[in-house]
Structure 1
Amino acid sequence: MTRLNEEHAEVRFSAFQIVQELFTRSHQFRTLIISDFQDFLELTVGINHEQPLPPPKEVAQKLRKAAIKSVQDWHEKYGEAYKKLSLGYHFLKQNKKVDFQDVHARTVAERRREEEKQKRLDNIYKEKAKRAEKEMEETSQEIAHTLTEMENCFQLLMPDPFDFTVNDTELEPSKQMTPDEKRLAPCSSSQMEVSQAYFGCMDDEQPCCSKDVLSVSQCVRTDPELDEKKESNGGTSSEVQSGLLALNDDDYQTFVRNHGLISHKYTLDLEISTADVKVHENEDNTAIINNVMDAHKLLRSKFWPSVQSWIQLFTRAGINDDRLRCAIDLKNKLEAALKKYKDMNISFKARKRKVV
């Protein structure tokens, strides 16, 4: 009751909320409140016109409304057990002309208004989500084109150091071995590695340092030679296999040491730092940098806000399907492109704005 006597509506409202909780939990507390029920009503409902509820006015109205509703609920639940509570309820209803039904109806009406308001908001968000979906379908191709153009410019300005390919020697379709030839020429994996090493290092013109190394023609017999061998003495598989490889392990190791060839199982890790990467603008790359700047401006000022808006609208509308995933995927791609532009650390030339 001490806190309810404070000349501030917010303090009284906080104290009243505590009273609400304790009133439903404790019989002893209910007895104490009901024993001084008239003062309680004056401090919460404001039945004494000479002592109105203190400011602020908005909180005072909220306190009065909550107190009237609580008195009605308490009367319905505890009125038969507490006679003074029932007398207080009828005093408010008959003497103070408090319309409890109007309070209850107003509460239901407010709840219905909230539900209708939420439905209107849901419909608005759904309509906005439909427009966002249509806009995303129309803009996705333009975003992809801009990202591709930007990536191509990045590659021209600074090629990826890890973007390289090794041409593996493969048999042409016309020169692939037939099943009979495969059966006649079974070679082990180590023999194939040696043959691949030789084929990989052989060009049309051998370097001078390779003249002392056996040529491919000496290492591997050709198909006509195999056929002649087979026709002359009915050659066995072991004879053909022995003719495929002319070098022993020592010769192979010597060749590796002399020419720098390594085993296919050998791996080499390259660490290339991109922390100090910087692209300087010059006469050769000015056009490329201009294209990158235009694409970056388009991503940052147009596409990025649009994608953010799509994700927000889909989330508010409760959409959690491919549309939201597509928008998030576009956002990730834009973030990667903007980050790469920043990492390029382009040093621009001074530009003069032409005033027409």
Structure 2
Amino acid sequence: MGKSNLELICECDNFPYYTDNRVAYTQNLQNYHEFRVNGYDAILGYILNSVVQKFPWSSEYWVVDSATKTVTLATPADATPGHRSKLVGDSILEAVKLGAFEVLKGWRNEKYPVYGPGGEFLLDMERCASPLFGIVSYGAHMTGYVDDADGLKLWVPRRAKNKQTYPSMLDNTVAGGMCTDEKPFECIVREAMEEASLPEDIVRASIVPVGCVTYSHIRDARAGGETGLSQPEVEYVYDLKLDASVIPRPGDNEVEEFKLWTVQEVKDALARGEFKPNCAVVMIDFFIRRGILTAENEPDYLDILSRLHRRLEYPTASHC
């Protein structure tokens, strides 16, 4: 028997909920230190204890408190985002020099933002380092589909076998992380051209924003590098109806191939656990919005709906 849709949701949104099991939630938090910035009363992420022990924290601008299980960037309260970013970046580069963490071998030269209360931009950091700090990351995912006389079919890519994260697993048609100052729409347009070779004019004219999904994930071995890292995410979701003559093709080294699958073929692949965890979530969201999964045919319908939109316990930002 394959995985149920709720099991796939729970596999991605697997950071315990306090309301579900207070004991499990409390026990899980013992594995982490809170990431904080001086002057802001907010948890910005959870850093795994083993990362805290190995990371080269400078006593000049980091305060590590084992009693309160906090790691605080101790810059002045009026420090600029640029100043904070430089200090965090210097620390990450030192960790790279020491070869302290596997995830840092996937250096991307892309910056992810960190927001404080009210969506204030506090700093940014190298993308591959973001799971070490457990910060909220933002991305955009798009489902490309054909809906004609032959029925509804979806374009499904298989990730390259040499990718550092989730190699050879199935993905959404287009997906990518949002860098500092990037808007969701521009992110998905860029990714559509880079990953799927889709013409910019077609994407801009026809893509439809349909919401977002949120979850809090604890990384396993499939993600590459250290396991147990906390990775809360906001994924903006888009749909793109394509003419059958428009065929996505790999545009970089991240995708091996695209296949046009029926709904049943996608369902079967989901049940086999072939999709990258967050991509399975986006696909299930698509099925709900298209009326493929309903209250009449999905026994876990209400649980799935609520789990697609987790209320994150960290500050987040609007991208308007």
User: Quick one: higher RCO (CA 8 Å, sep 6+), 1 or 2?
Assistant: 2
- Find the structure with the greater CA-based Rg: 1
Quick check: TM above 0.5?
Answer: no
Structure with greater helix share of residues: 1
Structure with greater strand share of residues: 2
TM-score (norm 1): 0.19
TM-score (norm 2): 0.20
